[in-house]
Amino acid sequence: MLIKPVLLWSDALILLLLASVGLLVWLARNNDTFRAPWRQVMRSRMGSSTALILSVYIGIGLLDSLHYVERLPTPAGQPASQPAQYSGEVLSALDALLKPLRENVEKTYSAPFATHLYAKETVLGPNGRETRDYPRLQHGGAHLADPERDFWADVSERAGLGLLGGWVVWLLWRSWFGCRNGCQNSGARFGLPGGACSATGPPRRNFTLLVILLTIGALLALAPHYHVLGTDKVGQDVLYLSLKSIRTGLLIGSLTTLIMLPFALTLGIAAGYFGGRIDDAIQYLYTTLNSIPGVLLIAAAVLVVQVQIETHAELFETAAARSDVRLLALCAILGVTGWTGLARLLRAEALKLRELEFVQAARAFGVTDARILLRHLLPNVMHLVLITVVIDFSGLVLAEAVLSYVGVGVDPGMISFGNMINGARLELAREPVVWWQLAAAFVFMFVLVLAANLFADQVRDALDPKSKERA
């Protein structure tokens, strides 16, 4: 085999999460109670557009979770019966797709679309004399014979072809799927009898899909030949680093949220419903936890985990496995310490719900407490859970940048938005300013967080019983 699949702990958790989501979708496929709210979300302009953006992020994260190692060349004279040797560098399917960006490494900083380095160096002139000038990049714009003369024409031509390709893909998608909601059968797409397309045309998310396809087309045409977002201090392509950082942000946001939810749901609803000593004990627990400074608690726990990893380095075959364990440890620490805010909200909501007529009636009929909690209280707090979880997801994506800044975030060798920002912070004080690495991390994080928040608003409006009553 030329490659050998590698399954990291985080990859296994992602596969488990996907299997759980698939099982829930399969169980709820014939349940109108669950299908109706999601149908409402996907029919709304904002819901379908943000879902499409999130799908792109999730797709990139999944591609970056398919890991493998490459087989090393067989040394001359080695018998064929000897076992194959594999590289210690763990790559992913995303690395394979972005191979030109990963391998086109420059010497140091270069600005977006630049053909020369960002700093002057001593170079030999045509006459053999040493001069201070901006040397040409090894890869960015290297195909241009005369950058000053050919640059704009080449960029315009390649960008135009990329945009045209994205436009063609959008037209094909529109012709095949745009009239799906208004067609009786597939014959209507070809003008055959038996179906007719609605006058409303394609879904409202067409414009968002068009923007995404145009962006992808332009990047596919330009990125192999130019550093579209520039390079960092060691010459790595910033677009490549930004795309690789998406998986880390999604993992920290999703896994931490899943760890936090059981604590918040169980303790918050139990405190509000049962009251008494149970309420006092749970309040004492989260009040004590909140009294400890969060950053110090997380820093202490991460440092303990880091010491244990370094002490037992023989347990990890690759640097990627070691970084992965530290990432999971960070998610666990953030989840165990971050459930208190949601628990407070659920306690307050449960205190109100337990006094309502339908809960009192269930008690009068002898319904067990467990059934009341599952059938009456839990569905009526899910809108609160959802919006709080997505806000926490957004906050966790941003918190990773802060924790990496103070040195207690993910492993320094792992590509993440926090490490990108941490690497760019010192360059903001130089002249001229190296701004593109920080700007790239900010834009990718901003789009992810904004799309998640807007999508959560749509889902909350669809699931919230109060919003349905107002409507």
Return the pLDDT at 468.
52
Beta bridge partners of 67: 6, 92
Distance CA(163)–CA(66), nearest Å, equals 29
Return the pLDDT at 195.
41
Return the pLDDT at 464.
65
Distance CA(224)–CA(101), nearest Å, equals 7
Return the pLDDT at 153.
93
Burial class (CB within 10 angstroms; exposed 0-12, middle 13-18, buried 19+) of 122: exposed
| Direct distance between the N- and C-terminal alpha carbons of the chain, in angstroms, rounded to an integer | 60
Which among 286, 461, 441 has a CA at the least distance from the CA of 390?
461
Tens place of pLDDT for every residue, the chain, 471 residues? Answer: 688 898 999 999 998 888 888 887 887 777 777 777 788 888 888 888 999 999 999 999 999 999 998 888 777 666 666 777 888 888 999 999 999 999 999 988 899 999 988 888 877 767 777 778 888 899 999 999 888 899 999 999 999 999 999 999 999 888 876 555 445 444 444 344 444 444 344 445 578 899 999 999 999 999 999 999 999 988 999 999 999 999 999 998 888 888 888 999 999 999 999 988 999 999 999 888 888 887 788 888 888 888 888 888 777 878 888 888 888 888 888 888 888 889 999 999 999 988 888 888 988 888 888 888 888 888 888 878 877 887 788 888 878 877 877 777 888 888 888 888 888 877 777 777 888 999 999 999 999 989 988 888 888 788 765 555 444
Distance CA(62)–CA(47), nearest Å, equals 22
Residue 417 is which amino acid?
F
Residue written as token pair 């704009």: 152
Rg (CA), the chain: 27
Helical (H) or strand (E) element with 68: strand 67-70
3-state secondary structure of 431: coil
Question: Could you tell me if 328 and 253 are in contact, meaning their C-beta atoms sit under 8 angstroms apart?
Answer: no
Distance CA(420)–CA(397), nearest Å, equals 13
Question: Could you tell me if 265 and 150 are in contact, meaning their C-beta atoms sit under 8 angstroms apart?
Answer: no
Return the pLDDT at 193.
41
For 146-181, letters b (16+ CB in 10 Å) and e give: ebeeebeebbeebbeebbebbeebbeeebeeebbee
Question: Could you tell me if 181 and 196 are in contact, meaning their C-beta atoms sit under 8 angstroms apart?
Answer: no
78-87's contacts with Cβ under 8 Å and 24+ in sequence apart are 84/1, 86/4
Distance CA(463)–CA(365), nearest Å, equals 27
Nearest 5°: the CA angle 453, 456, 460 is 140
The CB density around residue 444, as the number of other CB atoms within 10 Å, is 21
